[in-house]
Amino acid sequence: MQENKINILSTRPVNKSLLQDARAKNMVLDTLSFIETEPIQTIEIQQEVEQVSIQLATVVFTSMNAVESVTGMLDGHIPDWNIYCIGYRTKELIEEYFGETAIAGTADSAMELAELIIEEDTTDEVVFFCGDQRRQELPSKLEAHDINVIEITVYQTIPINHTLEKEYDGVVFFSPSAVDSFFKNNKLPAKTIVFAIGITTEQTIHKNCGNKIIVSKLPGKEKLVEQAMGYFL
């Protein structure tokens, strides 16, 4: 019966196979995005990206949205960059466009990425392609170790403040900005388990509720949804 089913909300779209898997496990997996992202395609940003593209530069990506925005502006040109990036999907997109050899290092979080850049000590300047809601950890850490950070904002995050009309046993979050957007109009019942993609997302959830939070064990958004479903089995 419907009332016996576990209800889980993913705050971003998921593969159809996960929806089918949820139904097979007598679960309802709803998807509802609380943010959307748009590339910033001004002439000024285009010129900044093009200027970096003709340099031997060390660049940093902490978001797949930044990769998609920058590669769109490069229009097939492959610069001579040493790239540091967050792992999994962001890394995959970089490998697809720039090739595996372009990746100088990866980490699971922005702070760990900054620590890796500092430890390897191969540059005194990085170009950080980021969004308008980027967090301060990476630039602050690098600049504290005398590494200059040139920030180029290549996409913007737009909140979508939905109001929920049902309660969920579990809610899955993939970014701090989605957490902020969610709690603009919603509160969670005490019984709801919250799942977070990483530490910064977890910290943002803590600021908004006292619910139990489970942080992803494996990289990748699909893996986090699978972990959420597995929790209730």
Cβ-based burial of 165 (10 A; exposed 0-12, middle 13-18, buried ≥19): exposed
136 pLDDT above the threshold of 50: yes
pLDDT value of residue 2: 46
Question: Are 118 and 179 found together in one domain?
Answer: no
pLDDT digits (tens, 9 = 90+) for 26-81: 999 999 999 999 999 899 999 999 999 999 999 999 999 999 999 999 999 999 99
Please identify, among 110, 131, 157, the residue that sits at the C-terminal boundary of a domain. Answer: 157
Question: Are 214 and 169 found together in one domain?
Answer: yes
CA–CA distance, 91 with 82 (Å, rounded to integer): 13
Please identify, among 138, 157, 176, the residue that sits at the C-terminal boundary of a domain. Answer: 157
Task: Supply the range of the domain harboring residue 56.
Answer: 38-157
pLDDT value of residue 3: 57
Question: Are 151 and 170 found together in one domain?
Answer: no
Say which residue the tokens 């309802």 belong to.
28
